[in-house]
Amino acid sequence: MPVDPTALPRHVAIIMDGNGRWAQDKGLPRIEGHRRGANAVHEVVRTAREIGVKALTLYAFSAQNWLRPPEEVAMLMRLLREYVIAERAEIMDNAIRLVAIGDLDRLPGLVREPLELLVSDSAGNQAMTLCLALSYGGRESIVATSRALCEAVKRGELSPADVTEGCFQSAMQTADLPQLDLLIRTSGEVRLSNFLLWESAYAELYFTDTYWPEFGRDEFVRALESYRGRQRRFGRTGEQLRRLG
């Protein structure tokens, strides 16, 4: 189905949820759901790139996911490493720039090393930015930004009056991504789970019952179609927007 490029979100973010329940429903171990989830990532990245979305942020591991059983965390880390290594050619061949947000220092070297390498090797790519949220928390990222600004004030580089919304925005890890237009969550849960709290202030939200491993091209296009039908008012009235054209 063709998507009208004039009404395309520039930045889409996805809470990729439901891997465990997908596996449990099939009598499989949870990790099998995570493995299948990696295939869905491949398909959705490819689709976003083909359609012309400029930035795609994927919630792959939250700050709170460290609380999961150690064996599941270890398997997820191994899968992340495999993903970064296996997708290298796809990312480079399609001129995708890979970036990562979150508390990356907490990631084990087995993930951090191939990740940092691909982030640096893909830095000049310009077709699309793929942003992986890893060990990421929305509150944690707001706190980290606040702390960095306080330190700049303490060093005398910034005055408290300079701390405006724009200044705060440009100090966030997501500063160089376009404004978040569309936020998708799979699996039927209707919550943000600490994802992109600052960035989602005016994002359009799309929730689907589909478990992440079953999410693919068609459902991604359906989410974009739903976005196309929304009127984004940013506080104004519908009448004002019609007059502004």
Site of interaction with ligand IPE (CB under 6 A): 15-21, 59-62, 65, 76, 187, 189, 191, 193
Q: Which residues are catalytic?
A: 17, 65
Q: How far is the CB of 205 from Mg ion (least distance, A)?
A: 17
Pairing of strands 55-62, 204-207: unpaired
Long-range pairs for 85-92 at CB < 8 Å and ≥24 separation? 85/114, 87/42, 87/45, 88/118, 90/42, 90/45, 90/46, 91/118, 91/122, 91/125, 91/130, 92/121, 92/122, 92/125
Which span (11-19, 27-35, 94-102, 150-158) binds Mg ion, by CB under 5 A? 11-19
Nearest distance in Å: CB 215, ligand IPE: 11
Query: Which residue is it, tokens 């990740």?
Result: 115
In the window 13-32, what residues touch Mg ion (CB under 5 A)? 17
Contact 183, 230 (CB under 8 A): no
Residue 193 interacting entry, from Mg ion, ligand IPE, none, C-beta within 5 to 8 Å by type: ligand IPE
Of 15, 99, 102, which is closest to residue 59 (Cα–Cα)? Answer: 15
The whole-angstrom separation of Cα 74 and Cα 78 is: 6
Q: How far is the CB of 244 from ligand IPE (least distance, A)?
A: 37
Instruction: Name which of 49, 3, 11 is nearest 201 in CA terms.
Output: 11
Q: Helix 217-228 vs helix 30-51: angle between axes, to the nearest 10 degrees? A: 50
CB nearer to ligand IPE: give 57 or 122.
57
98 or 134, CB closer to ligand IPE? 134
59 binds, among Mg ion, ligand IPE, none (CB under 5 to 8 A by kind): ligand IPE
Q: Look at residues 29, 129, 6 and name the one whose alpha carbon lies nearest to residue 76.
A: 29
φ/ψ of 86, rounded to 5, equals: -70, -30
Pick 9 or 213: Cβ nearer Mg ion: 213
Nearer to ligand IPE, 22 or 227 (CB): 22
The residue number whose beta carbon is nearest to Mg ion equals 17
Nearest distance from C-beta of residue 103 to ligand IPE, angstroms = 14
Residue 76 binding target from Mg ion, ligand IPE, none, CB below 5 to 8 Å by type: ligand IPE
Which residues of this protein are in contact with Mg ion, per CB under 5 A? Answer: 17
